[in-house]
């Protein structure tokens, strides 16, 4: 396999990591516990707030999963293992890395 330009992928991964971290920090208010004081918030408003909270928590779980994948990809770049399948050690197709620079499996193993 030809050498891949890890600097290009590192830049993309670091940019995405920064964006996801910022989004996570900005959305922390939506994940906060819902106040159960019925005097200040009506029942339906509280239910809406709880639904928003649950959706925000689900988005945050997906975001944290992606952040972990990005960090692992950056570690593979540092270790010199980037671009090779985690399972079979075969090269990952450059097109696959273009689509998802955090990919750690080749098409056959995915």
pLDDT tens track for 41-58: 555 677 777 788 888 889
Distances (CA, A) of 54 to 30, 58, 80: 9, 6, 39
Distances (CA, A) of 49 to 56, 75, 96: 10, 38, 39
Please report the pLDDT score of residue 49 as a whole number. 77
User: What mean pLDDT value characterizes the chain?
Assistant: 86
Please report the pLDDT score of residue 32 as a whole number. 57
Please report the pLDDT score of residue 42 as a whole number. 58
State mean pLDDT over 26-33: 64
Please report the pLDDT score of residue 27 as a whole number. 72
30-34, 35-39, 75-79, range with greatest mean pLDDT: 75-79
pLDDT in tens, 4-23: 889 999 999 999 999 999 98
Please report the pLDDT score of residue 34 as a whole number. 53
Domain ranges of the chain: 6-83
């Amino acid at each position: 396999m030809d050498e891949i330009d890890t600097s290009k992928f590192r830049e993309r991964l670091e940019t995405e990591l920064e964006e996801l971290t910022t989004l996570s920090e900005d959305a922390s208010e939506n994940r906060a516990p819902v106040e159960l004081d019925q005097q200040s918030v009506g029942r339906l408003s509280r239910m809406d707030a709880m639904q928003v909270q649950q959706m925000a928590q689900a988005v945050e779980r997906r975001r944290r999963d992606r952040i972990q994948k990005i960090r692992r990809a950056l570690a593979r770049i540092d270790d010199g293992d980037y671009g090779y399948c985690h399972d079979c050690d075969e090269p990952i197709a450059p097109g696959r890395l273009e689509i998802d620079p955090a990919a750690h499996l080749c098409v056959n193993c995915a």
